[in-house]
Amino acid sequence: MLSDVTTPQDLDDRFRETLAALPAAERRRDPADPVTDDAPLTGAQVLDLFDAQVTSRQLDLAGRWLRSFGEGFYTIGSAGHEGNAAVAAALRPTDPALLHYRSGAFYCLRAAQVAADPTLATDSESSVDPPRTADSESSVDPPRSADSESSVDPPRSADPDQDADRARTVAAERSERGSTVDGASTRGPEPNADLSESEPAVDGASTPAVGVGNGFGAYVDAARDVLRGMVASSLEPIAGGRHKVFGRADLAIVPTTSTIASHLPRAVGMGLAVERLRRLDSAGRRTGAGVRVGSGAGATHAPWPPDAIVVCSFGDASVNHASATAAFNTAGWYDHAGLRIPVLFVCEDNGLGISVRSPEGWVEATLRAKPGIRYFSVDGADPVRTYEVAAEAAAWVRRTRRPAVLHLRTVRLMGHAGADAESAYRSPAELVEDLDRDPVAATARLLVDAGVATGEELLARYDETGWQVRRLAEEVLGEPKLASAADVVSALAPRRPVRVARAVADAAARASGPGAGARAEAFGGKPPELAGPMTLAQSINAALADGMLDHPQMALFGEDVAAKGGVYGVTKGLRDRFGAARVFDTLLDETSVLGLGLGAGLAGMLPVPEIQYLAYLHNAEDQLRGEAATMRFFSQGAFRNPMVVRVAGLAYQEGFGGHFHNDNSVAVLRDVPGLVVAVPARPDDAAPMLRTCLASAAVDGSVCVFLEPIALYHTRDLYTDGDGEWLAGYPEPGGWVAGHVPIGRARVYRVGSADDLTIITFGNGVRMSLRAAAVLAEEGVGTRVVDLRWLAPLPVADIIRESSATGRVLVVDETRRSGGVGEGVIAALVDAGYVGAARRVAAVDSFVPLGPAARHVLVSAEAITDGARTLLAR
């Protein structure tokens, strides 16, 4: 019995009692026939659904068992949600999926489909599934403690090898009598089918390949994947022990760690990108199972077929979250505007968010009310009907390329997680009612009533699966864990500066060689290097245009970036040059803007979204922190979302703004592991730094924030009005290599002897510090002004070198004293053992007020000069 490894609901005992009480049908039904006279599934296919559901259920039980003696670290299970196996069956294995954490049966079914027919696997060039060791594939049990030989084991022989032989024999017998279907005639078009513009997709209503037909043998890899995640094994194939997630590149399952639907905006972005890439012309861009885009440094591969749809699942409580609201609104907004987004949202509704109930009827009313999103609904306890409705919904999305939501009613069995005592907030009657709606029992009841199997046969199948899952659980217990901090962060944000530099050099060669004609045409016959000295805004505009020319999959989007050309004119003229498909306006919602970027990057594009003001970024920070920065970390690089986020920010706008247009808060960006944060101060730095960010995104999959100081956009002068010393020429392609700016390298200005003082600063502080240095030079003080340029990663080596050269450091930080950049600079100095003098000049811990009052809380050139004098007087 397994009763002592489950919850008080005694789910296992109840399931056994249910199967034992099922009366055998009067006659046996051929598994090749429909399971009922009018069903779209055969008995064999429903049996496959049952196997997937049972595997998921046994994995949940194993998770509780592992946790009972401290070897399992994740107990949120899928019990009660196993109806989602029928949703997986209704989709194609090449449809990318972002799964809710109760999607065990979906994951098992898809893994089994691909295992049965490897041609269904998504072509993923960057998959990094670790090789399984001979040990991990062994059928022989690793050494076990006495505790592990508990009474919950099914009967087994004394010899493990005999047990293994028995398992193989049973699997072989099941394979012989199994339910394999001919997927070739039922899947719809092959992954490399060419779909023309006039025929956007097939209907998809035909029955896909549900079956795999060899019992638990088809689910071994899926079960091992999940168990490895539970025990944080470093051999787990997607996250490598960093988290328990459902994900595998070859299954087109994108890992998500979200519990609150923050992956939904990404799903909308994926849908938009999949449709855009599908509509590309066929000029050599379609190959194999996906779409290959571009020929430059950023050429990348979209691993999904042109007619794929995106599926994302989430819980009913998440319907109320801002991220979900943003995603639904964006999908509906674009649909209303006539743009196609083929996304199937799946709301798995068990009526609870941990202990908080969803009010009766609220989820349905909410989902039905979403404009532009078609509503489908089904009870997940009915496998045939679930399959029918899911297939109908998927076919509609695939045919129309429009968004839909499938409201899948489920129950939650065994509580939210292992430590959840449901009796504290649910009545015994309610718990019993949910047990009566157990979807695995419902599938078993259907099979027995139809005469496909007896209750005894299904119980034997259930026990066999449980025995095999338990064996796998014991195997993974002995697998290695991540052994060091280096192991943990190895997948976070790898940097390959040599490759990035080579990508910049290649871009320069193309711009001056085979792409010279297109470049001249794009710039109207007058390339930017012939336009004379430029402002910061003009330099960024030219660099964006060069980026668009070199990266055919690059797209610019955000609020007001297209027709208006940006509120500060930075993107002016780019839509006219490159078209509305590549430069477009979005709705006013930063979460959705970043979500579009996340999905587009994952689908093979190089997105460059704009956040109109830094203050607005704070509305959507989790899309960078929880979604963008974690993708490589939780997939070991199998998935990535390259992106360069342009943000207009910082303070010092004269005569305009207040807090929302003069925000000097960047602490949240510097706190995100792996995020690149660039702040160009000078026009001659802006273009090379932007080229570096684009190359790093394309080469390494980096997520970069390009923070542009608003007050310097149109600045022309440095010391006196009319001197033009803040302008700079735009380099011709032949000079791009010499002017390359690697990530994490500072720029140093030397004023006078440069031997007395080092000023470390960035952004607006560079201009103010150079002005202060000129005043100090008249007093005989030689200064080094270090422009950090990169706030993450900080140019620590340059900081230490330039500080040690003078022994006196003044850190000029236009962000706030608490949580500002200056804290990081001082900490770097201390960590390096710097023993000289140091002082900070920083903004006051205040929001930036309107008008002249801002001068009281922001850093000024005068304050820098006074701070330097104080430091020199020590």
Averaged over 838-859, what is the pLDDT?
A: 91
Strands (E) in 96-238, as ranges, are 97-98
pLDDT at 235 over 90: yes
Averaged over 513-524, what is the pLDDT?
A: 94
Give DSSP secondary structure letters for 476-521: HHTS----SHHHHHTTT----HHHHHHHHHHHHHHHHTTTHHHHHH
Averaged over 95-118, what is the pLDDT?
A: 92
pLDDT at 514 over 80: yes
Q: Are 287 and 249 within 8 A, CB to CB?
A: no
- Residue 420 is predicted with a pLDDT of 77
- Residue 295 is predicted with a pLDDT of 35
Position of tokens 């007619």? Answer: 307
Q: Are 501 and 168 within 8 A, CB to CB?
A: no
Give pLDDT tens digits for 776-802.
999 999 999 999 999 999 999 999 999
Q: How confident is the model at residue 127 (pLDDT cuts 50, 70, 90)?
A: very low
Among 864, 19, 94, 48, residue whose Cα is nearest residue 458 = 19
Please give the single-letter amino acid code of residue 517: G
Averaged over 282-308, what is the pLDDT?
A: 50
Q: Where is pLDDT greater, at 153 or 37?
A: 37
pLDDT at 140 over 70: no
pLDDT at 190 over 90: no
Among 702, 701, 725, residue whose Cα is nearest residue 715 = 725
- Residue 9 is predicted with a pLDDT of 54
Averaged over 537-555, what is the pLDDT?
A: 97
Position of tokens 């990081």? Answer: 824
Buried b (16+ CB within 10 A) or exposed e, 243-254: bbbbbbbbbbbb
Give DSSP secondary structure letters for 442-453: HHHHHHHHHTS-
Q: How confident is the model at residue 322 (pLDDT cuts 50, 70, 90)?
A: very high
Q: How confident is the model at residue 180 (pLDDT cuts 50, 70, 90)?
A: very low
Q: How confident is the model at residue 849 (pLDDT cuts 50, 70, 90)?
A: confident
- Residue 430 is predicted with a pLDDT of 85
- Residue 213 is predicted with a pLDDT of 54
Least confident span in 34-43, 407-416, 647-656: 647-656
Give pLDDT tens digits for 699-758.
999 999 999 999 999 999 999 999 999 999 999 999 999 999 999 999 999 999 999 999
CA dist., res. 33 & res. 46, Å (int): 11
Phi, psi for 612 (deg, rounded to 5): -60, -40
| Residue 292, H or E segment | strand 290-293
163 CB-near residues (< 8 Å, 6+ apart) = 156, 157, 471
Number of residues that make up the chain: 874
Q: Where is pLDDT greater, at 185 or 339?
A: 339
Q: Are 802 and 760 within 8 A, CB to CB?
A: yes
Give pLDDT tens digits for 471-485.
999 999 999 999 999
Q: How confident is the model at residue 302 (pLDDT cuts 50, 70, 90)?
A: low
The mean pLDDT of the chain is 85
pLDDT at 837 over 80: yes
Averaged over 860-871, what is the pLDDT?
A: 96
- Residue 428 is predicted with a pLDDT of 85
Q: Which of 57-71, 350-364, 427-441, 739-753 has the highest mean pLDDT?
A: 739-753
Among 30, 386, 32, residue whose Cα is nearest residue 181 = 32
Among 654, 652, 645, residue whose Cα is nearest residue 623 = 645
pLDDT at 444 over 90: yes
Averaged over 125-132, what is the pLDDT?
A: 33
Percent of the chain with pLDDT over 90: 70
Averaged over 41-70, what is the pLDDT?
A: 94
Averaged over 207-211, what is the pLDDT?
A: 43
pLDDT at 517 over 70: yes
pLDDT at 281 over 50: no
- Residue 327 is predicted with a pLDDT of 95
pLDDT at 288 over 60: no
pLDDT at 696 over 80: yes
CA dist., res. 575 & res. 594, Å (int): 20
pTM for this structure? 0.86
CA dist., res. 742 & res. 693, Å (int): 9
> Strands 310-315, 97-98: parallel, antiparallel or unpaired by DSSP?
parallel
Percent of the chain with pLDDT over 70: 85
Least confident span in 249-258, 588-597, 604-613: 249-258
Q: Are 769 and 653 within 8 A, CB to CB?
A: no
- Residue 3 is predicted with a pLDDT of 33
pLDDT at 593 over 90: yes
Sign of the Cα pseudo-torsion (599, 600, 604, 606, in order) = negative
Averaged over 421-443, what is the pLDDT?
A: 87
Q: How confident is the model at residue 135 (pLDDT cuts 50, 70, 90)?
A: very low
Q: How confident is the model at residue 279 (pLDDT cuts 50, 70, 90)?
A: confident
CA dist., res. 60 & res. 55, Å (int): 9
pLDDT at 599 over 60: yes
Among 343, 97, 240, 308, residue whose Cα is nearest residue 638 = 240
Please give the single-letter amino acid code of residue 61: L
Q: Are 435 and 303 within 8 A, CB to CB?
A: no
Averaged over 330-339, what is the pLDDT?
A: 94
Nearest-Å Rg of the Cα atoms of the chain is 30
Q: Which of 60-74, 379-393, 420-434 has the highest mean pLDDT?
A: 379-393
Q: How confident is the model at residue 252 (pLDDT cuts 50, 70, 90)?
A: very high
pLDDT at 158 over 50: no
CA dist., res. 611 & res. 707, Å (int): 10
Residues forming beta bridges with residue 816, ordered by sequence position: 843
Structure tokens at 862: 């005068």
- Residue 4 is predicted with a pLDDT of 33
Structure tokens at 18: 């249910």
Q: How confident is the model at residue 259 (pLDDT cuts 50, 70, 90)?
A: low
pLDDT at 5 over 60: no
pLDDT at 434 over 80: yes
Q: Are 753 and 805 within 8 A, CB to CB?
A: no
Q: How confident is the model at residue 397 (pLDDT cuts 50, 70, 90)?
A: very high
Averaged over 241-269, what is the pLDDT?
A: 90
Q: Where is pLDDT greater, at 619 or 293?
A: 619
> Is residue 433 helix, strand or coil?
helix
